[in-house]
């Protein structure tokens, strides 16, 4: 069974850094794009970016380019989403998303709530 | 403002049929496959339709998808209370080189 298990909820202050994770299992981690989708409180889904763990090729939405960093460690089948300096507007649920191909998410993680508040 | 346009809400009675539209342009829907996702509030989204009109294993044939030009449609027949959820369309945008979603449609079973 394909599974994506994300790290837990986080509470941070503005300006702090954060790295959340997503561990894939039940499939060949290096052969699928994996990425992140943001959902702000009460709002819709926003595609952030993807990485191909096989060669670390990474694509970002223009809206998120330079704001976050997506990475992966194929030795432990884990993808990451990282911020260097959080803002209150980063408060959201972040879903890990396996992509069967560009633009098609065929498996979702359970979501991780990130709260940024002074 | 989402790249893909969906109606904010739709509703219908149990047993009836409902359709949800998703409008884009030639950079996204016009030249790429469309997927549909169902999200029950408080849970992660789930894939409902892929490649415009295909259903993953376990998705009943009450759910259907179609695409024409730069628009796509999700159809749900025999509505059940368990179908109440938010529905999103998604695809790739070749100009943005990024995935895009619609703004979501809240579906209510009256």
* pLDDT number for residue A86: 98
Average pLDDT value for residue range B62-69: 97
Phi-psi domain of A102 (left: phi exceeds 0; alpha: psi -120 through 50; beta: other): beta
Q: Is 90 exceeded by the pLDDT of residue B56?
A: yes
* Interface test mutation site (partner A, options B44, B55, B93, max chain A beta carbons within 10 A): B44
Q: What percent of chain B has pLDDT over 70?
A: 100
- Residue A89 scores a pLDDT above 90: yes
Q: What is the mean pLDDT of residues B68-93?
A: 97
Nearest CA in chain B to A43: B103
Is the predicted pLDDT of residue B92 greater than 90, yes or no? yes
pLDDT at A102 over 90: no
Residues from chain B contacting residue A46 (CB–CB below 8 Å): 101
CB contact under 8 A, A102 and B99: yes
Interface test with chain B among A103, A107, A109, by most B beta carbons within 10 Å: A103
Distance from CA of A64 to the nearest CA of B (A): 10
**What is the per-residue pLDDT for B66?**
97
- Calpha distance B18→B12 (Å, rounded): 7
* C-alpha distance from B16 to closest chain A C-alpha (Å): 26
B71 pLDDT tier (thresholds 50, 70, 90): very high
Cβ–Cβ below 8 Å for A47 and B90: yes
Mean pLDDT of B85-93: 98
For A54, phi then psi, to 5°, come to -65, -35
pLDDT at A103 exceeding the cut of 90: no
Tell me if chain B has a CB within 8 Å of the CB of A96.
Answer: no
Q: How many of the other CB atoms lie within 10 Å of CB of B10? A: 17
What pLDDT was estimated at residue A71?
Answer: 98
Mean pLDDT of chain B, nearest integer: 97
A94 touches A36 (CB < 8 A): yes
Look at residue B89 and tell me whether its pLDDT is greater than 90.
Answer: yes
User: In this structure, are residues A51 and A72 in contact, taking their beta carbons and an 8 Å threshold?
Assistant: yes
φ, ψ for residue A114, nearest 5 deg: -110, 120
pLDDT digits (tens, 9 = 90+) for A34-71: 999 999 999 999 999 999 999 999 999 999 999 999 99
| B104 in contact with chain A, both atoms CB, cutoff 8 A | yes
Q: Is the pLDDT of residue B1 over 90?
A: no
Mean pLDDT over B51-68 rounds to 97
**Average pLDDT value over all residues in chain A:** 97
Residues 6 or more apart in contact with residue A46 via CB below 8 angstroms = A37, A38, A39, A40, A61, A63, B101
Q: What whole-number percentage of chain A has pLDDT above 70?
A: 100
Is B37's CB within 8 Å of A105's CB? yes
Number of residues written out for chain B = 110
pLDDT of residue A65: 97
CA distance to A14, A36, A67, A105, B71, per residue, from A70 (Å):
20, 8, 10, 17, 31
**Residue B102 DSSP class:** B
CA distances from B17 to B20, B64, B66, B75, B83 (A): 10, 11, 15, 7, 11
């Amino acid at each position: 069974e394909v599974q994506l298990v994300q790290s837990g909820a986080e509470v941070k202050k503005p300006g702090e850094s954060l790295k959340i994770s997503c561990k894939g299992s039940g499939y060949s981690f290096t052969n699928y794009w994996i990425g992140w989708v943001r959902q702000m409180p009460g709002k819709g889904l926003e595609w952030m970016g993807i990485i191909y763990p096989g060669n670390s090729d990474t694509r970002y939405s223009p809206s998120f380019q330079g704001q976050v960093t997506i990475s992966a460690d194929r030795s432990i089948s884990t993808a990451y989403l990282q911020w260097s300096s959080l803002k209150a507007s980063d408060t959201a649920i972040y879903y890990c998303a396996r992509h069967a191909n560009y633009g098609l998410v065929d498996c979702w993680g359970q979501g991780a709530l990130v709260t940024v508040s002074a | 403002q989402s790249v893909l346009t969906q109606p904010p809400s739709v509703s219908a009675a149990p047993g009836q049929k409902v359709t949800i539209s998703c409008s884009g342009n030639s950079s996204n829907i016009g030249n790429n496959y469309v997927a549909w996702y169902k999200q029950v509030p408080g849970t992660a989204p789930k894939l409902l339709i892929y490649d415009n009109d295909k259903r993953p294993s376990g998705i009943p044939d009450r759910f259907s998808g179609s695409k024409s030009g730069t628009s796509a449609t999700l159809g749900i027949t025999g509505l059940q209370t368990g179908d109440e959820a938010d529905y999103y369309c998604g695809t790739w945008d070749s100009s943005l080189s990024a995935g895009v979603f619609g703004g979501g449609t809240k579906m209510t079973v009256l």
